[in-house]
């Protein structure tokens, strides 16, 4: 179908999360008329409303409270009996969200992007009906970007009520903290929240069908994470599945999970983290000539174009890697391709951050991947307890490792667990992208005392092995 003679917009972005926001700004920079359609009353999408920012704000509150509690306990020479409250943990969340929303609002306004609030659905490949509080407005666009994000997969057997049965979207709205929490699903979100709640002294049990969570990460790093979580009394039930779930009435109500193995687990709250489903059901894809897969995701080519040439998709709605950072870059590239601006493919070496306690980050290949591909490599390791900055931070369990090709010393991967890991990884990311190797780290001076010294220590460790 050809576009209308005078479409309302050059580009319409459905969704104002990282992908939609970045695509809109990029298109506006190209002089295009752009609209962003957002079903919520505020911009930012799930990333800001219920996902990335709220979970990271919760994490920062947990870390701050844990540090304060630790100092007080050392001063009093004994553990405190008082437990933190949900109100205290979420006290700053609304301020953080309001500031971030203002930043996004200002950016869109400065670039003359129209923000239209309402729920969009296709009526034909170039037309969107936007419904808001009983009213309807039709807009047409030459190009359309679908960036609707995802919703949590619904819990099996019992609907989420935000009190006993939770999804990740419910955590930021908790009115009280549990004494015992069961997390079903060892996904990134499940691991992150399990570690955060356990850092508060809450009894946590994590159930996952797989024998190993976070299978895409370096196995030694995951083992270290699990070790530290077990030290905080997290119980892992791996290779297990929930057969049934019941709610037991009482003051308060509790959940009872029956596992397929016959085990029975009782908890104040159950957090289901069994994946997410793309939020495409409500946008009437058939009217646009599109069809989603069984999890609502859309298939795109290397330019983020769907099978309908003028319709693009970016962000979580297209699946892996489903990170806020990669979604933002996908949106920018999609806008460039939509209007014929030359843009290279997304860089292959993007960092992955797991905001557990402790945090994890990686870029490049893990050891098991190199082994499977028969790539000869050597490992260089640095431990935070060997680094002055690690001592200053009080983190003696952090682990940093780099993988180098045995033949030419090229950097192949960086893997870190510990304080600041998600920041630390970017130095290695740059070296990896530029094709550098071990000599860079051996010859470079890093500030002292910083965690960046891990690069020097790990490189020296690897060099000793490469000489043997």
Q: What proportion of the chain, given as a percentage, has pLDDT over 70? A: 96
pLDDT at position 154: 87
Q: What proportion of the chain, given as a percentage, has pLDDT over 90? A: 79
Count CB neighbours of 33 within 10 A: 17
What is the rounded distance in angstroms from the CA atom of residue 326 to the CA atom of residue 347?
10
Query: Quick check: helix, strand or coil at residue 370?
Result: helix
What is the rounded distance in angstroms from the CA atom of residue 362 to the CA atom of residue 159?
35
pTM for the predicted model, two decimal places: 0.92
Task: Compute the half-sphere exposure of residue 332: CA atoms within 13 Å on the CB side of its CA.
Answer: 14
Q: Is the pLDDT of residue 73 over 80?
A: no
Count CB neighbours of 250 within 10 A: 7
Q: What are phi and psi of 100, to 5 degrees?
A: -65, -40
Q: Is the pLDDT of residue 68 over 80?
A: no
- Residues with Cβ within 8 Å of 161's Cβ and at least 6 positions away in sequence, in order, are none
User: Which residue's structure tokens are 């999609």?
Assistant: 334
- Residue 302: pLDDT band with limits 50, 70, 90: very high
What is the rounded distance in angstroms from the CA atom of residue 243 to the CA atom of residue 77?
45
On average, the pLDDT of the chain sits at 92
| Tokens representing residue 106 in the block | 């200002």
DSSP 405: E
Q: What are phi and psi of 37, to 5 degrees?
A: -105, 120
Pairing of strands 180-184, 203-208: parallel
Contact (Cβ atoms closer than 8 angstroms) between residue 144 and residue 1: no
Query: Quick check: helix, strand or coil at residue 272?
Result: strand
- Torsion sign across C-alpha atoms 405, 411, 416, 419: positive
DSSP 386: G
The length of the chain is 468
> pLDDT tens-digit profile of 148-206?
999 998 888 788 999 999 999 999 889 999 999 999 999 999 999 999 999 999 999 99
Count CB neighbours of 302 within 10 A: 9
What is the rounded distance in angstroms from the CA atom of residue 171 to the CA atom of residue 335?
34
User: Which residue's structure tokens are 């460790």?
Assistant: 461
- Residue 266: pLDDT band with limits 50, 70, 90: very high
Mean pLDDT on 291-315: 97
What is the rounded distance in angstroms from the CA atom of residue 458 to the CA atom of residue 387?
11
Q: Is the pLDDT of residue 350 over 80?
A: yes
Question: Using omega within 30 degrees of 0 as the cis cutoff, is the peptide bond preceding 329 cis?
Answer: no
Rounded to the nearest angstrom, the gap between the alpha carbon of residue 337 and the centroid of all alpha carbons in its chain is: 26
What is the rounded distance in angstroms from the CA atom of residue 203 to the CA atom of residue 83?
13
CA-wise closest residue to 261 among 237, 234, 227: 237
What is the rounded distance in angstroms from the CA atom of residue 367 to the CA atom of residue 377?
9
**How far are the Cα atoms of 130, 135, 361, 462 from residue 35, in angstroms, in the given order?**
12, 18, 35, 52
Mean pLDDT on 310-316: 97
What is the rounded distance in angstroms from the CA atom of residue 230 to the CA atom of residue 215?
18
Helix (H) or strand (E) holding 143: strand 135-146
What is the rounded distance in angstroms from the CA atom of residue 54 to the CA atom of residue 48?
7
Count CB neighbours of 60 within 10 A: 15
Q: Which of 47-56, 282-291, 436-445 has the lowest mean pLDDT?
A: 47-56
Pairing of strands 269-272, 180-184: parallel
What is the rounded distance in angstroms from the CA atom of residue 200 to the CA atom of residue 9?
49
**Exposed / middle / buried, residue 248 (Cβ in 10 Å: 0-12, 13-18, 19+):** exposed
Task: Compute the half-sphere exposure of residue 141: CA atoms within 13 Å on the CB side of its CA.
Answer: 34
Q: Is the pLDDT of residue 69 over 80?
A: no
pLDDT at position 77: 47
| Tokens representing residue 37 in the block | 């359609």
Task: Compute the half-sphere exposure of residue 334: CA atoms within 13 Å on the CB side of its CA.
Answer: 35
């Amino acid at each position: 179908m050809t576009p209308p003679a005078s479409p309302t917009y050059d580009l319409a972005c459905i969704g104002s999360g990282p992908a939609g926001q970045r695509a809109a700004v990029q298109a506006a920079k190209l002089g295009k008329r752009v609209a962003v359609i957002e079903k919520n009353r505020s911009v930012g999408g799930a990333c800001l409303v219920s996902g990335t920012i709220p979970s990271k704000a919760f994490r920062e509150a947990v870390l701050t409270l844990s540090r304060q509690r630790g100092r007080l306990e050392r001063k009093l020479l004994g553990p405190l009996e008082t437990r933190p409250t949900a109100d205290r943990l979420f006290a700053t969340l609304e301020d953080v969200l309001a500031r971030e929303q203002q930043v996004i609002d200002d950016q869109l306004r400065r670039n003359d992007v129209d923000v239209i609030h309402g729920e969009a659905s296709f009526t034909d490949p170039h037309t969107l009906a936007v419904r808001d509080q009983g009213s309807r407005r039709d807009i047409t666009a030459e190009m359309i970007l679908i960036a609707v994000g995802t919703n949590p997969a619904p819990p099996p057997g019992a609907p989420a009520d935000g009190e006993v049965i939770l999804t990740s979207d419910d955590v930021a709205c908790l009115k009280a903290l549990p004494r015992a929490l069961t997390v079903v699903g060892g996904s990134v979100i499940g691991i992150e929240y399990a570690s955060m709640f356990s850092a508060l002294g809450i009894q946590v049990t994590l159930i996952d069908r797989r024998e190993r969570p976070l299978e895409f990460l370096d196995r030694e790093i995951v083992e270290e994470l699990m070790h530290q979580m077990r030290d905080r009394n997290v119980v892992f039930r791996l290779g297990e599945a929930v057969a049934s779930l019941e709610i037991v009435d009482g003051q308060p109500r509790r959940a009872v999970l029956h596992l397929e193995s016959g085990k029975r687990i009782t908890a104040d709250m159950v957090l289901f983290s069994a994946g997410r489903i793309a939020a495409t059901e409500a946008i009437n894809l058939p009217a646009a000539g599109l069809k989603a897969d069984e999890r609502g995701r859309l298939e795109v080519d290397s330019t983020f174009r769907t099978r309908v040439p003028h319709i693009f998709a970016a962000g979580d709605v297209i699946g892996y890697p489903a990170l806020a950072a990669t979604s933002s870059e996908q949106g920018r590239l999609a806008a460039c391709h939509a209007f014929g601006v030359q843009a290279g493919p997304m860089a292959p070496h993007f960092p992955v951050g797991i905001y557990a306690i402790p945090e994890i980050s990686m870029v490049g290949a893990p050891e098991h991947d190199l082994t499977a591909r028969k790539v000869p490599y050597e490992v260089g390791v640095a431990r935070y307890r060997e680094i002055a900055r690690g001592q200053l931070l009080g983190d003696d369990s952090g682990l940093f490792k780099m993988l180098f090709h045995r033949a030419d010393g090229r950097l192949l991967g960086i893997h870190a667990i510990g304080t600041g890991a998600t920041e630390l990884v970017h130095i290695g990311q740059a070296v990896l992208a530029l094709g550098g190797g071990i000599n860079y780290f051996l010859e470079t001076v890093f500030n002292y005392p910083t965690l960046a010294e891990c690069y020097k220590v790990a490189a020296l460790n690897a060099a000793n092995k490469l000489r043997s």
